[in-house]
Amino acid sequence: MEVKKIPEVTLNSGQKMPVIGLGTAAIPLPPHEAFISIFIDAFEVGYRHFDTASLYGNEEPLGKAVAKALDLGLIKSRDKEDLIPLDIKGTWEAMEECYRLGLAKSIGVSNFGIKKLTKFLENATIPPAVNQVEMSPSWQQGKLREFCKQKGIHIALRWVYEQGASVIVRSFNKERMKLNLEIFDWELSQEESQKFSQIPQCRMYSGTQFVSENGPYKSLEELWDGNP
């Protein structure tokens, strides 16, 4: 099977990251064996960038899929209910240490607005290589993208790619996985690109589950840096 070569972006750490990754969140959660098969399909068609989190409950099957992909020769190995205060500074310092020790190739953040990034960069000795955020034709994040560009931080399909951002796609169907990698074979016309600027803007994910009187974010205004 032909493996699609995905373009890469060079991060401020010097490491390269594929501009398309596979999103792995799913409700309901498929059985682990089904997930492993899905991930192997993704490896076979060319994906090397996967977006996961402990909240998704699929880190174990992804790890097993990576091990299986190594055995199959699809990828190569590398050599080397209580609320607690949110210690972003301490967490980032630990991540910086992981980077210095070679335990992580690159380190980044997720869902940081301009206000959080500005305060964050005051203390960081290693700036984040990536800020993973929601971005689509209906939520274009122009100001945040420009801020990240100025700071050397990288952030739908072809449209997002043409904005200089990388993208997370989500389909567990192998044929659609392949189709999502075909965006590099064509370009939007100028007229098509202009139509995107006319789309009404609305955030798809509100983030209400992260707002609490007892947590670090008391309102959506605080969570999204005044841009809910």
Task: Answer whether 159's CB lies under 8 Å from 187's CB.
Answer: no
Q: Residue 197 has what DSSP assignment?
A: T
- 11, exposed or middle or buried, with CB in 10 Å at 0-12, 13-18, 19+? buried
Q: Is the omega angle on the peptide bond into residue 28 within 30 degrees of 0, that is, cis?
A: yes
Q: 3-class secondary structure for 114-131?
A: HHHHHHHHHHCCCCCCEE
Tell me which residue of 149, 150, 167, 170 sits closest to 158, measured CA to CA. Answer: 167
144, 122 contact by CB (below 8 A): no
Q: Using a CB cutoff of 8 Å and minimum separation of 24, what contacts does 130-133 make?
A: 130/11, 130/17, 130/106, 130/154, 130/155, 130/166, 131/155, 132/51, 132/108, 132/168
- 47 labelled catalytic: no
For the CA atoms of 161, 163, 168, 170, what is the dihedral angle to 10 degrees? Answer: -70
Catalytic residue among 56, 99, 161, 217: 56
Could you give the 3-state DSSP secondary structure of residue 8? strand
Q: Please give the positions annotated as active site.
A: 56
